Amino acid sequence: MSSPMLTVQNLEVYYGAIHALKGVSFEVKTGEVVSLIGANGAGKTTTLRALSGLVGTKGQISFKGQDLSQVPTHKRVGLGIAQSPEGRGVFPQMTVRENLEMGAYSRKDKAGILKDFDMCLELFPRLKERLWQMAGTLSGGEQQMLAISRALMCKPELLLLDEPSLGLAPIIVSQIFEIVKKLNHEGMTILLVEQNARMALKISHRAYVLETGRIVMQDSAQNLLNNDEVRKSYLGV
């Protein structure tokens, strides 16, 4: 866990007149789980969208030493960055199986695709029982499982997870975080965006706190869990 897989420097994003990211810098090292925590509207989703190439940016994004500024979204997926979007974003009119196949659309390694397909169903046995069900009819938790699995079907080296706990019952949230932890133990590098700061910090190595488009704090997850300011503002204690 040493070399930076992702280095972000002075990232800026505007939506028209709204300056959503005001010079955000952070890094994610190979093998880490890093969280971005912060209130509604702090710029967490925007940061992930910038990394995936879904919004125009200023600043530098370097992935495995390669500058991504001119690299379009689909090529970033090919390089090893996959995002599980906020609000799940599964294709509702497609079956679970088709959604998973869509995740692998740019891959040619048939044997590898089959292996990852089986791996996803092993991670999320609920999806196995629902392979032929329309994704739009899944429960919120199941849709979240599918969104993560679809991202895994891209065979990412860096998995971007946007609010995996959003709107889910606590027991499902725990299950999903257990799986995120397991994925990391098996070698996946993860950048996690969460409003549920406590859950996020519990499974992270390090974290950054975003406030209105700026990083205002960074530390080990353990230190942040014990930090008075973080406890008051984000952990409700």
60 binds ligand ATP (CB under 6 A): no
- In angstroms, give the least distance from the CB of 154 to ligand ATP: 22
- In angstroms, give the least distance from the CB of 210 to ligand ATP: 6
From 34-42, 77-85, 89-97, 135-143, span contacting ligand ATP (CB under 6 A): 34-42
Of these, 8, 43, 90, 207, which contacts ligand ATP (CB under 6 A)? 43
When the beta carbons of 159 and 210 are compared against ligand ATP, the nearer one is: 210
Report the first-to-last Cα separation within the chain, whole angstroms. 32
205 binds ligand ATP (CB under 6 A): no
- Which string of x and - marks every residue 140-179 that binds ligand ATP (by CB under 6 A)? ----------------------------------------
From 37-45, 58-66, 68-76, 216-224, span contacting ligand ATP (CB under 6 A): 37-45
190 binds ligand ATP (CB under 6 A): no
6 binds ligand ATP (CB under 6 A): no
Three-state DSSP string of the chain = CCCEEEEEEEEEEEECCEEEEEEEEEEEECCCEEEEECCCCCCHHHHHHHHHCCCCCEEEEEECCEECCCCCHHHHHHHCEEEECCCCCCCCCCEHHHHHHHHCCCCCCHHHHHHHHHHHHHHCHHHHHCCCCEHHHCCHHHHHHHHHHHHHCCCCCEEEEECCCCCCCHHHHHHHHHHHHHHHHCCCEEEEEECCHHHHHHHCCEEEEEECCEEEEEEEHHHHHHCHHHHHHHCCC
2 binds ligand ATP (CB under 6 A): no
Of these, 23, 31, 41, 80, which contacts ligand ATP (CB under 6 A)? 41
The angle, 0 to 180 degrees and rounded to 10, between the axes of the packed helices 110-123 and 170-185 is 140
From 39-47, 103-111, 118-126, 133-141, span contacting ligand ATP (CB under 6 A): 39-47
Interface with ligand ATP (CB under 6 A): 15, 18, 20, 38, 40-46, 195
